[in-house]
Amino acid sequence: MRFSSLHLDSKISASHAKAHPNADPVVVPIYHSSTYRFKTMDLYHEPNHGSNHVYRRCGNPTTENVEVIINEIEGGAGSLVYGSGLAAISAVFLEFLSAGAHLICMSPIYSGTFSFITETLTKFGVEVTFLEVEKEENFAKSVENSIRPNTKLIYFETIANPTMAVPDVLGTLEVAKKHKIPTAIDATFASPINIQPLKLGADVSIHSCSKYIGGHSDVIAGVVTVANYEHWKNLKLQQFTTGSSLSPFDASLVARGLKTLALRVDRISENAQKTAEFLESHPKVTRVFYPGLPSHPQHKYAKQVMKQFSGMIAFDVGTAENAIKLVEVIVLNRAHIPKLTVLLVIFQTVKLITHAVSLGGTESLIEHPLTMTHGKEEIRDERRPDVAPGLLRFSVGLENVSDIIGDLRDALDNL
């Protein structure tokens, strides 16, 4: 066996050892160094690869690899990765808004975004107008009617969390361009495979990398991609001063997820379409909200901008009691079963689908928004959007679609 020349008796200090010059890893390594060496002061002052790679908070080769890949997919001027999706969202708000500014925001939206707006931005004098997609006959027109002289940003999601409502993306972008107001779109639910907001005319595209991009329910991260290089430079400076950059360890997981993103999203989108069609046909489901169904109220808007309709479904089973019953796994108490009894009786409402928050992973996840993500405990502001008591949010996974449907059928039959 061949060993490195670095042994205990080596004259080379272990603290100064370097990788073999012929090593050329297929996978970008995890650069977990907190600081970097420079041969000359000129190298230190070079843009990007010089000045950014000074200290890990300023820049890191592992995280930069992810930024380059995502920027290529999005077609932007630059991307920045953050420690969470919400960190990415808040960075955009802090870049475009200040005291006295007005924000136009779609509703409903991710509860973390809503809380940041109502709990933090308003504290610093930012005004906000929420527009409920489902209640607006013409969302783009409502946006235009809400514009004020101090409106500095229009913010919306491609697919609303948790109701799956879809705004008129093209119409809203047209209004924004007409009035020269920047637009930021959270495209997490759609994934960058199904929609690239910047190519449609948006100024900022945001994703929680914890979801489809990471894809394995094992990383928390976010990304912002911008159409204008000046915005990238401003966000980069802000990231440097706030310390919100992603760790290289988490960046490596995001990079791994990106390699299979297209394959996963294609399979998940296909599964979701078939699952939504099944749910729509079931007598115990009162409403199904999936952008790929012709019955979806904004189906025409989804078709205009999405390649596929991703893996997020919302469906209503009438009451909160029914919704909670459906997602809970009930295990009969076997404490009194004799030890010699081989028979073990277990009754489950769902066998394959996991009852948990989050979305976009390889496994199917289901949750009750009113209890878990969008209720009074999660959103304290009274302006929180109405969420139907019986609504369930379902993130379709990679499992065999027959198994997914079979699991849902069993659960619904037990209601």
pLDDT tops 90 at residue 140: yes
Q: Which pLDDT belongs to residue 380?
A: 62
Can you state the percent helix, strand and coil of the chain, rounding each to 5?
Answer: 35, 15, 50
**3-state DSSP call for residue 294?**
coil
What is the reported pTM? 0.88
6 is written with which tokens?
């670095």
Domain holding 175, by residue range, is 3-258
DSSP string, 12-38: S-GGG----TT---SSPP----SB---
Helix (H) or strand (E) holding 191: helix 191-194
Question: Of 208, 242, 258, which marks where a domain is finished?
Answer: 258
Q: Which pLDDT belongs to residue 82?
A: 98
Count of beta carbons in the 10 Å neighbourhood of residue 373: 20
Shared domain for 210 and 350, answered yes or no, is no
The stretch 181-200 carries a mean pLDDT of 98
Helix (H) or strand (E) holding 186: strand 183-186
* Radius of gyration of the chain from its Cα atoms, rounded to whole angstroms: 24
For residue 108, the 8-state DSSP code is S
Q: Which pLDDT belongs to residue 375?
A: 59
Phi, psi values for residue 42, rounded to 5°: -60, -40
Shared domain for 29 and 73, answered yes or no, is yes
The stretch 228-236 carries a mean pLDDT of 96
Q: Which pLDDT belongs to residue 383?
A: 67
Query: How many domains in the chain?
Result: 2
Shared domain for 30 and 91, answered yes or no, is yes
Range scoring the smallest mean pLDDT among 31-45, 149-163, 227-241, 275-289: 31-45
Sorting pLDDT into bands at 50, 70 and 90, what band is 386? confident
Shared domain for 294 and 364, answered yes or no, is yes
Supply angle C-alpha 72, 78, 82, rounded to 5.
Answer: 100
Spatial CB neighbours of 373, under 8 Å, sequence gap ≥ 6: 111, 161, 162, 357, 367, 393
The stretch 118-128 carries a mean pLDDT of 96
Shared domain for 218 and 365, answered yes or no, is no
| Residue whose token pair is 């879809």 | 166
Q: Which pLDDT belongs to residue 10?
A: 44
Q: Mean pLDDT of all residues in the chain?
A: 88
The stretch 207-234 carries a mean pLDDT of 97
Shared domain for 177 and 210, answered yes or no, is yes
Sorting pLDDT into bands at 50, 70 and 90, what band is 43? confident
Cα–Cα distance, 324 to 349 (Å, whole number)? 10
Spatial CB neighbours of 76, under 8 Å, sequence gap ≥ 6: 198, 205, 225, 226, 227
Q: Are 360 and 215 in contact (CB under 8 A)?
A: yes
134 is written with which tokens?
């489902």
Count of beta carbons in the 10 Å neighbourhood of residue 394: 27
Per-residue pLDDT reduced to its tens digit, 290-308:
999 999 999 999 999 999 9
pLDDT tops 80 at residue 141: yes
Spatial CB neighbours of 121, under 8 Å, sequence gap ≥ 6: 93, 97, 103, 128
Shared domain for 254 and 296, answered yes or no, is no
Percent of the chain's residues with pLDDT above 70: 85
Shared domain for 97 and 244, answered yes or no, is yes
Q: Which pLDDT belongs to residue 38?
A: 85
Beta strands in 96-219 (DSSP E): 102-107, 127-132, 151-157, 183-186, 204-208
Question: Of 258, 287, 308, which marks where a domain is finished?
Answer: 258
The stretch 206-229 carries a mean pLDDT of 98
Q: What CATH number corresponds to the domain at position 349?
A: 3.90.1150.10
Q: Are 218 and 210 in contact (CB under 8 A)?
A: no
Shared domain for 251 and 330, answered yes or no, is no
| Residue whose token pair is 């490596």 | 252
Question: Of 218, 235, 258, which marks where a domain is finished?
Answer: 258
Shared domain for 230 and 301, answered yes or no, is no
296 is written with which tokens?
């979806």
The stretch 146-159 carries a mean pLDDT of 98
155 is written with which tokens?
């913010």
Could you tell me the sign of the dihedral formed by the alpha carbons of 69, 74, 79, 85, in that order? negative
Q: Which pLDDT belongs to residue 9?
A: 44
Shared domain for 246 and 276, answered yes or no, is no
Cα–Cα distance, 247 to 298 (Å, whole number)? 38
The amino acid sitting at 61 is P
CA distances from 106 to 255, 320, 327 (A): 31, 25, 29
**3-state DSSP call for residue 7?**
coil
Centroid of chain to Cα 249? 19
Shared domain for 72 and 97, answered yes or no, is yes
